[in-house]
Amino acid sequence: MGVTVGTGIGSGFVIDGKIYHGSRGFAMELGHIVVQRDGLTCNCGLEGCLEAYSSVSAIQKATARINPKYSTCELRELLIEAKSNQQLRIIIERSREYLAMGLATACMILDPDIIIVGGGGMDAGLYSIAEIEKSVRAKTSKVNHHTQIRKATMGNQAGVMGAMLLAAQS
């Protein structure tokens, strides 16, 4: 399973070497599973989606709510600020917990061998993969603890590499 933390939350699932698309091509909308009842409005129009809490844009919106001066900050600036600002750290930790909830749910349903977490947010150091793993373990039963949780290593190249591999298969 692959998950990207960027402007939104993207995800995909590979089974027997093939991408799983679902019956009509809309499978793996992990970013739009509801993690909070009556929660924040998501870009998709629903309320309480994972993406509305754990994406980079969700972090930017949440920090702007505590102080409008953060509304123009890039993620990297917010992460530097968070080192000395507990309110920002709480927002980031809460967002990471929501992400872990989503990943734990996926583990319980799909029982994946490995979950690769990447995207611009992860590249910038938004969430610690060790903390995500710890939290996913706490939210899943022992039979699901074999799932490896790893940080993606290909950075911006991942999308291009994936497209090349897909083209090579067809």
* Positions in the binding site for Zn ion (CB under 5 A): 32, 42, 44, 46, 49
- Closest approach, Cβ 103 to Zn ion, in A, equals 17
Q: Which is nearer to Zn ion, 30 or 73 (CB)?
A: 30
Counting Cβ atoms within 10 Å, is residue 71 exposed (0-12), middle (13-18) or buried (19+)? exposed
105: Cβ–Cβ under 8 A, 6 or more apart, which residues?
Answer: 33
- The per-residue b/e assignment along 101-119, b for 16 or more CB within 10 angstroms, e otherwise, is bbbbbbbeebebeebbbbb
Q: Give the sign of the dihedral formed by CA 45, CA 47, CA 53, CA 58.
A: positive
Nearest to 7 by CA among 121, 156, 160, 129: 121
Look up residue 30 and give its DSSP letter.
Answer: G
Q: Which is nearer to Zn ion, 2 or 102 (CB)?
A: 102
Q: Which is nearer to Zn ion, 49 or 132 (CB)?
A: 49
- Closest approach, Cβ 8 to Zn ion, in A, equals 8
- Closest approach, Cβ 49 to Zn ion, in A, equals 3
Q: Which is nearer to Zn ion, 43 or 85 (CB)?
A: 43
- Closest approach, Cβ 99 to Zn ion, in A, equals 14
